[in-house]
Chain A
Amino acid sequence: MSWIREGELSFIERLSANILKAGPMPKHVAFIMDGNRRYARKRHVERQEGHTQGFEKLAETLRWCLNLNIREVTVYAFSIENFKRSKEEVDGLMELARQKFKKLLEEQENLEKHGVCIRVLGDLELLPLDLQQLIAQAVVATRTHNKCFLNVCFAYTSRHEITNAVKEMAWGVEQGLIKSSDVSESLLSKCLYSSSSPDPDLLIRTSGEVRLSDFLLWQTSYSCLVFQSVLWPEYSFWNLCEAILQYQLNYQSLQRAQEQHWEEQALQQLEADRSCVAELMRQHGSGTVADTQDRRKLLLSYTLKREERVQGFLSALQNKRDSFFHNLTSQAVLA
């Protein structure tokens, strides 16, 4: 079973897709694919079969998203909390991941044709080494593709991600790349695993649970949340349409809330820069003499310097992350 399922929509599906596309469409959709085990129980099949069917549904959903012009999808494949499950089930899930990433490497041509870039978000070091290497190979192989993006959250929780971002910023301070006063909301966002994606517009959770379960807590603050009662392996094109319709009904109010948040964020940044400049002036003992124009100049030059520092730090962070993947792939080639 491959990652991208070929095939077109039926006439009626295509018609509905076109109608939906006349309105505002989400650019990035996140899924919590819940209900594989309940599905297996309901159908009286093995638990592992439920997970396999869940993966197949993912391939199908990706196809629908492409048809609906949704270019970015993030899925919650495996939570750090899931390591608490029985050893048998965890091993089964790891084996499934191994198979699927191997398969992905085999069908690279197909992915290139569709321009699919795969990213894996999470603490990969918690995984078995061979799986880490497979994942790194898949990520490196598809990194230049830019038509559509699939982010797989594996060994992920949102609190872990936020803590990791704070750690990276502290590392930047340790290395002397940034100052502690440069820490801001936008910098933290850029240190998250999801830094290269925009925030999801729509988050869908299946199987009727109404919680986020430590998934993208930071990124979905202003996203449309849709909880659907269908089990993931039974998810249909129409369920997806229903969720998008829900997003469209919410579109304007969410847009407003988001804009308001951005404005506040910009204000906070300005305020922070101002107080840093004031602090600097006090240190140099020139606090009283500077007139408003000098002050404005100082502020401008401070802001430029801060942005430079932050850029330098972010590219160092990117290098660090890239070399982690490169080391893993070269290990795999040697082995």
Chain B
Amino acid sequence: MAFLYELAWRFLHVALHVQRTLLSWFRARLRSCDWRLWKRAMAALLVPVALGFHAHRRLGPAAGKRGCRRFRWGTDGRALEKLPAHVGLLIAEEEPRCADVATLVVWCMAVGISYVSVYDSRGIFRRNNSRLMEEIQRQQQELLGVDSAKYSVELVNGSSEKPDSQVFSCQAVVKVLSPDDGKSSIVSAAQQLCRAVEQRERASKDINIDLLDSMLRDSKCTPDPDLVLKFGPVESTVGFLPWHIRLTEFISFPSHVDVSYEDFFGALQHYAACEQRLGK
């Protein structure tokens, strides 16, 4: 009997994997041919079937053609009821691609988001910091053209603000994060507090949430991320800033490769429509 159950289980999982692959294949295909009606019909058919996160993602309204996109950036941002101040891009995939991540960062900047964090659980972006930065600047020129002077970038290297981080006149702050900024930073704050207690500079009863929170905030006073866009098949935060994601909205994409602007903007619209009751 156990053998039969296992067989059934295996069959079920193969079916689910096939469904997943078909789904992403259809997405890619339908994007390349511009059959909006088709896309709508397929989305209506497939979305309820898809498991998990993306079942709840609402598709954005049909947006204009690629050519006129440049003129819509600012208006797109303003058209939303509320815009996240800080967006986290969480890449939970085997091979993160700099170019695609840079595109997402530039889109974020273009719609008027002031803080953008890029994270992956193996610290790949942290190590290839300069490559990502170059890519962002290149795409900024390309996508925003004449406007690019308006969108300057400041790159901060996570919480360990090294003096060599590139600083431009500030409009958007782009942060590259790794697991070191997560639990490890809470642990080092705890160590610091304990050292103060050891040297009788502080008493244990003085420690409270606000004190710890102020220690975990960087010198730029970056707000907590309001929205995290998670890319990849793993439904997890994979160690992304545990302290800071208390009220963060998570929206999931199957992959960060070739994300369409419509889908990106759809996520922002979803965020704008969300009501946070803050416990009330």
Contact = CB atoms under 8 A, between A and B. Distances in A.
Instruction: Say whether A and B bind each other.
Output: yes
Interface of A: 18-23, 79-85, 157-160, 162-163, 165-171, 173-174, 179-181, 183-185, 188, 208-214, 217-218, 220-227, 229, 242, 245-246, 248-250, 253-254, 257, 260-261, 264, 268
Contacts of A81: 278-280
Interface of B: 1-2, 5-6, 8-10, 12-13, 16-17, 20, 51-53, 55-56, 92, 121-122, 179, 182-184, 186-187, 189-191, 193-195, 197-198, 202-205, 207-209, 212-213, 233-240, 242-243, 245-251, 274, 276, 278-280
A166 B234 contact: no
Residue among B179, B205, B236, B274 with the most chain A CB within 10 A?
A: B236
A180 B238 contact: no
Closest 7 pairs (CB-CB, A-B): A81-B279, A170-B204, A180-B194, A22-B9, A22-B6, A180-B195, A217-B242
Contact of A180 (B12, B53, B197, B251): B197
A259 to B, nearest CB: 12
A168 B205 CA distance: 9
A253 B233 contact: yes
A185 B184 contact: yes
A158 B191 CA distance: 19
Contacts, number: 183
A257 B279 CA distance: 32
B202 to A, nearest CB: 8
B122 A22 contact: no
B111 to A, nearest CB: 20
9 contacts: A18-B5, A23-B13, A169-B194, A173-B204, A180-B195, A249-B17, A249-B20, A254-B236, A260-B121
A179 B197 CA distance: 10
A225 B204 contact: no
Given A173-B194, A227-B53, A253-B233, A221 B247 contact: no
B222 to A, nearest CB: 17
B197 to A, nearest CB: 5
B191 A221 contact: no
B251 A210 contact: yes
Contact of B197 (A160, A173, A249): A173
B234 A211 contact: no
Nearest to A249: B16
A179 B207 contact: no
B187 A184 contact: yes
